[in-house]
Homo-oligomer: A and B are copies of this chain.
Amino acid sequence: MLPVISFVGRSKVGKTTFLEKVVAGLKQRGYRLAVIKHDVHGFDIDQPGKDSWRFLQAGGDIVVLSSPDKMAMVRRPEQELTLQQLTALVMDGVDIIITEGYKGEDRPKIEVFRSDVSDKILSPKDELIALVSDKPFDIDVPQFGFEDVDGVVQLIEGKFLNRPAAEDIYLSVNGRDVQLKSFVKDAFIKTIAGMVSSLHGTQEARQIKLTIRLP
């Protein structure tokens, strides 16, 4: 299972700034990572007059710009994409996914807390794996000050990255996530990996992506 860790916390506590440093720390240790930021208020990545904006404005549902060293995609989905859909989109070739936000999802969480913004922790205790805070709490999870980026990076590495990758499958049908029981997962993985391994000239598969359209 690809690790997905969420940094959560109220607005204005400094999540983005802290997360930026964590990303740099993980990168320095050689990991490839994806960051998914949940921005409920919207964002303006596509600047008026630029190509991506022009094509979206004209009525494109998805606009992609691709150059040799960068790819960008902007999409207006009919419904907000789920974290699982976004995870499937970015999972190839990264070791870990870090999210900013998604406090409502059932994922391991690191809460960023500042006492001048709030006085209560918002994460459920069973999902909280660490707290970044300007004051100590009497709770049973590792706590870090805002200066201790390295401590947080080490915790993430020790808990999620120093272990062999396990099999994992993501399935969506007609744009909706499908949850598979573990024996069904296994059947899908074995069947498809088997079919792929029989293809002439295919090296050992570590990552398989399949998209099928049916009439």
Contact = CB atoms under 8 A, between A and B. Distances in A.
A21 interface: yes
The interface centre, meaning the residue of A36, A88, A213 with most chain B CB atoms within 10 A of its CB, is A213
A35 B20 contact: no
B58 A80 contact: no
B59 A24 contact: yes
A149 B38 CA distance: 38
Contacts of A205: 173-174, 212, 214
Nearest to A207: B174
Nearest to A1: B213
A141 interface: no
A74 interface: yes
A93 to B, nearest CB: 6
B212 A199 contact: no
Contacts of A45: 45-47, 50, 52, 65, 72, 74
A93 B175 contact: yes
Given A91-B211, A94-B62, A67 B86 contact: no
A188 interface: yes
Contact of A173 (B33, B35, B203): B203
A63 B165 CA distance: 22
Interface in A87-110: 88-94
Nearest to A102: B66
Given A24-B58, A43-B70, A71-B73, 16 more contacts: A16-B54, A19-B55, A23-B58, A23-B59, A23-B60, A27-B58, A33-B62, A34-B63, A39-B67, A43-B50, A43-B67, A45-B47, A61-B94, A71-B75, A205-B212, A206-B213
Interface of A: 2, 16, 19-21, 23-24, 26-28, 32-43, 45-47, 50-52, 54-55, 57-78, 80-81, 86, 88-94, 164-175, 178, 180, 184, 187-189, 191-193, 195-196, 199, 202-203, 205-215
7 contacts: A27-B58, A34-B60, A35-B60, A39-B66, A67-B80, A72-B75, A173-B205
